[in-house]
Amino acid sequence: MSASTTNSSVFILTGFPGLDQYYPWFSIPFSSIYAMVFLGNCLVLHVIRTEPSLHEPMFYFLALLALTDLCMGLSTVHTVLGILWGLSQEISLDACIAQTYFVHGLSCTESGVLLAMAFDRFTAICNPLRYTSILTNSRVIQFMVTIVLRSTVSILPVIIRLKFFHYCRPHVLSHSFCLHQDLLRLACSDIRFNSFYALALVICTLLLDAVLILISYVFILYTVLAIASREERLKSLQTCVSHLCAVLVFYIPIIGLTMVHRFGKHLSPLVHVLMGNIYILFPPLMNPIIYSVKTQQIRRRMKKWFSLKM
């Protein structure tokens, strides 16, 4: 097994180590989660498209967030469910690199969207009189294009180099999908550029976005506390609840997975697999639920839509 996987361009994905006999049972909740990811995000996109009152900057960003979550599900469903359904645990190098590109690129996109949504809340609360002049439709489109371009272009240097590495170690990955750090672990080539560039990319995108989101909420809190009316303060803060939940849902799994990869080499492989699945599934699953429950316009539109269906 070791010799064959070392000399080929095929990689072996890891399901749940030691629990192979339970895969048919695991496939039921995982299939349900993926179905909820697809249906939930498609429903959010449909509601935003068909409800005129939602044609505002915040909901345009939410539509991009839902599309990003939908693509994250589509990029990993075939390998995760392929293992659990017993179809295949193998993936070619090219397919693995492509999946790595989408997983990391979509994470960067989601981080950028959350930052744009934080800027929207900052403008709406701290500078409400200029909100419509600052966040015009053309500027929102510019923000969205910039977010997508940043994600698609910035990770290309490390992704392209993965194709030319020599993978001399056994081609067994530690997740049910491909990650950049997982492929680096199997390479015997000089990986210093990829390691440093990936670290710099994380600092300049995910970490910087998180810091800017935090700063925006410091200003928002400062502005809200200056409002005399308690009801107005609560009303202003309530407009931020959905976004804050989405930020926590996105960053907590990323931090957890990073800690496991960096400092959890002594942990069971099962922990790595679980953290990986939480990382790719938790935000796409929770975001539609958060915005459906916490956003009055979306909740009202969904109730109206389902009542008509009934």
Each residue's pLDDT tens digit in the chain (310 positions)? 444 444 458 899 988 888 888 888 999 999 999 999 999 999 999 889 988 888 899 999 999 999 999 999 999 999 999 999 988 889 999 999 999 999 999 999 999 999 999 999 999 999 988 999 999 999 999 999 999 999 999 999 999 999 999 888 888 888 899 999 889 989 888 889 999 999 999 999 999 999 999 999 999 999 988 887 888 888 888 888 889 999 999 999 998 888 887 777 777 878 888 888 999 999 999 999 998 887 777 777 777 776 665 5
Q: What stretches of 226-295 show up as alpha helix (H) in DSSP?
A: 230-263, 269-294
Q: Degrees (nearest 5) of the Cα angle 258, 97, 279?
A: 30
Which phi and psi (to 5°) does residue 90 adopt? -100, 150
Map residue 10 onto helix, strand or coil: strand
Please state, as a whole number, how many other Cβ atoms lie within 10 Å of the Cβ of residue 95.
15
Burial zone of 252 (CB within 10 Å; 0-12 exposed, 13-18 middle, 19+ buried):
middle
Q: Helix, strand or coil for residue 92?
A: strand
Q: Please name each of the domains of the chain with its CATH number.
A: 15-302 (1.20.1070.10)
Rounded to whole angstroms, the Cα distance separating 109 from 205 reads 9
CB 31 within 8 A of CB 278: no
Q: Which residue has the tokens 């599934």?
A: 281
What whole-number distance in Å separates Cα of residue 64 and Cα of residue 269?
34
Q: Two tokens at 158?
A: 């490390």
